[in-house]
Structure 1
Amino acid sequence: MATESATGGSPARTMDLLWRTGGDVERRPGPRAGLDVDRIVAAAVDLADREGLPAVTMRRLAGELGVGAMTLYTHVPGKGELVDLMHDAVLGEVYPEPPAGEWRDRLTSVARANWDLYVRHPWAASVGAGRPILGPNLMRKYELELTAVDGLGLSEVEMELVLTLVGGFVRGTVGGLHEKAAAERDSGLTEDEWWAATEPHVDKVFDPERFPTAARVGPVAGPELGGYSPERSFEFGLARLLDGIAVLVER
């Protein structure tokens, strides 16, 4: 039986906090300072959105909230549990309405909802993929996503695998979006500026006879795509992914 979640927190303590069941650490004695779990989690999400998950430490978060670090521990056991709570909190943002339409429309809604979530909260794409904590928002999300592939003649295992396939595709593609943003931030150069600075050096070493296919495709695809485009890769890849799922559904 696992005693830690993928984030290093205690699943039992996290589940108590998520579902507001017995053993809530909020009941421990200590200064309250007007805090509750929801306020702490909201501040942690905001900090992670601005500076990334590594910036979320109990000491830093206490400073953001204007309290002592030990005050946070009267509400949340530690960072591991806090990250699990943060993850479930942001999952509550998806699907204000259940995915609707025919199955391709429903799966498209699922993919776009996850893409938008990870664009808003980049850190969330790396949390909960391996050993998710089954909080109320995660369970609601899972239920609605299952209904997107229900009634298609797929087995229960195939339904799960289709959702895993779509989720993995979204996580991988949105990772490229954040990597591109990080490269622009770190270098101080836009995509166009970077390629303009690189092109003279490439011209010196590129041999079209050695790389004939690249010589044919690159000059056409590069200007057409405007450099690496995670958004376009997402749209193209999602369409091809749905085409593949259609073969399974029709079979």
Structure 2
Amino acid sequence: MTTQPLSRARIVAAAIDLIEREGADAVSMRRIAAELGVGVMSLYNHVPNKDALLNGVAESVLSEIEFTDDPDAHWTDRVRMQARAFRQIAHHYPRSTMLVVSRQLHSNAGLLPVERALATLRSAGFDPLDAVRVLRMFIAFIVGSLLREVGVTPSFAPPHQHMVDPDAVDPALFPEVSDLAPLLAACDHDAEFDFGVELLIQAIKALPKREGSR
């Protein structure tokens, strides 16, 4: 059996696999070396340190985002496509995606999604400040949705934990919660995400175009 040679790609892939199993806190150069069955010093020939390794993880995840952007489509449709593309990769790598949004990336892979989103918003006529604010708002919404949906760390609710246990609510004290308990106890994550995206788009459409817009 031929042993696959050590490479940066193999090291990054091992880190992603470990992160998805145990979380980013489990990553160390020594642990990755053990996962690959190599000496820890051999890793440094390909990755200079842990920080560079984590950047590599984030860049690798981002590079797999499949943008099906259509420059001729209305900007609202382009925003929908971009938001869903990011969510799709988050489904594949939920814990690694949280690493993506926690790091500042200056590589092509890290900047491409930002460039596409800003270009879409600027072409729609939003001024520079509003374009940046809208981008940050969408990132916050997508990350919040991901946290709720997949429960990426023990600090957050498990992915299938309901907000309310209908049988545990006192209707005399909490009439509204009791009345809506069946809705609070169920969550269609696809529908919830689409609802949030549409709500944001409608709010963004109402933003006034200011001087300095294209």
Q: Same fold (TM over 0.5)?
A: yes
Q: Take 1:142 and 1:245, find their aligned partners in 2: how far apart are those partners? A: 18
CA spacing shift, 1:142–1:184, aligned 2, 3 Å: closer
Structure 2 portions without partners, runs of 5+: none
Q: What does 1:1-251 correspond to in 2, within 5 Å? A: 34-100=5-71, 101-129=73-101, 132-179=104-151, 200=167, 202=168, 206-219=169-182, 221-222=183-184, 227-248=186-207
- The 1-side partners of 2:46 and 2:152 are apart by 37
Q: 2:143 and 2:178 mapped to 1: Cα distance? A: 31
Provide the C-alpha distance between the structure 2 equivalents of 1:40 and 1:81, rounded to a whole number of angstroms. Answer: 11
Identity over aligned pairs, percent: 30
Distance (whole Å) between structure 2 residues aligned to residue 173 and residue 75 of structure 1: 35
CA contact (8 A) 2:16 2:96 kept: no
Tell me the distance in 1 between the aligned counterparts of 2:103 and 2:137: 17
CA distance change for structure 1 residues 127 and 184 in 2, over 3 Å: closer, same or farther?
closer
Cα deviation digits, residues 119-152 of structure 1 (max 9, x gap): 2111233335465120111122222222221322
Is contact 1:94-1:113 (8 Å) kept?
yes
- When the two chains are superposed, the root-mean-square deviation of aligned CA atoms in Å is 2.9
Q: 1:46 to 1:128 in 2, by over 3 A?
A: closer
Matched positions, count: 204
Q: 1:158: Cα distance to partner?
A: 1.4
Task: Give the TM-score normalised by structure 2.
Answer: 0.81
Gaps of 5+ in 1: 1-32
| More divergent stretch after superposition (240-249 vs 39-48) | 39-48
- Could you tell me how far 1:230 is from its partner in structure 2? 3.5
SS in 2 for 1:127: helix
User: Offset at 1:52?
Assistant: 2.2
CA distance in 2 between counterparts of 1:90 and 1:166 reads: 19
Name the TM-score, length of structure 1 as normaliser: 0.70
Matched-pair contact (CA < 8 Å) for 1:62–1:68: yes
- Partner residue, 1:20: none
CA distance in 2, matches of 1:131, 1:180: 16
- 1:70-121 per-residue CA deviation (whole Å, 9 max, x = no partner) reads 1112221221110011101111111343355211111111111111122211
